[in-house]
């Protein structure tokens, strides 16, 4: 049997830390106990936001890769939230992939939108990434959206957009 990789040891430590010291607002664990690289995260919609009290399920398979000698976290994907649809979030692509700077490949941004310091570095943990996703839900960014249609609605029909999100969240809550 091969020795555990540095990436698997790092993720085991992060899982142990999250189990020992849970963070308000989300829970995280493995999809399957036999694979440290497959995680499932449930975020409780942040208070005082459009997503308050919603349950947003996020998964990533695999969660981390070794790229040369540098660890790189792969993209998280919002899988479901009962009736939740990625269409209602500016920083989530319609296919559910989360778009936040710290998940982008390290180095300079070829499009010039982000500083290298805003992109992936190995100091990021599952916790820091999930907290960034929670922050993203709290403060929508319509300047470089993953979901152009949602950003357009956010800018041009903000009240309508908010009603739409609240309706979806309410339906989600009713299913529990």
Catalytic residues: 99
Q: Residue 167 in 3-state DSSP?
A: helix
Q: How far is 137 from 27, CA to CA, in rounded Å?
A: 16
Q: How far is 145 from 147, CA to CA, in rounded Å?
A: 5
Q: CB within 8 A of 76, min separation 6: which ones?
A: 41, 58, 59, 60, 63, 97, 98, 103, 129, 130, 133
């Amino acid at each position: 049997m091969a020795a555990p990789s540095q990436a698997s040891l790092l993720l085991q430590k992060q899982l142990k830390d999250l189990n020992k010291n849970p963070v308000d607002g989300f829970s995280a664990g493995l999809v399957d106990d036999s694979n440290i690289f497959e995680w499932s995260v449930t975020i409780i919609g942040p208070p005082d936001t459009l997503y308050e009290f919603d349950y947003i399920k996020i998964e990533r398979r695999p969660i981390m890769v070794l790229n040369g000698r540098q660890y790189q976290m792969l993209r998280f994907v919002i899988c479901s939230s009962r009736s939740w649809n990625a269409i209602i979030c500016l920083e989530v692509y319609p296919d559910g992939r989360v778009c936040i700077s710290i998940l982008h490949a390290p180095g300079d941004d070829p499009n010039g939108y982000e500083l290298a310091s805003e992109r992936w570095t190995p100091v990021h943990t599952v916790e820091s990434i999930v907290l960034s996703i929670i922050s993203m839900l709290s403060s929508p960014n319509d300047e470089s959206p993953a979901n152009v249609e949602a950003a357009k609605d956010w800018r041009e029909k903000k009240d309508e957009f908010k009603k739409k999100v609240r309706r979806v969240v309410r339906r989600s809550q009713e299913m529990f």
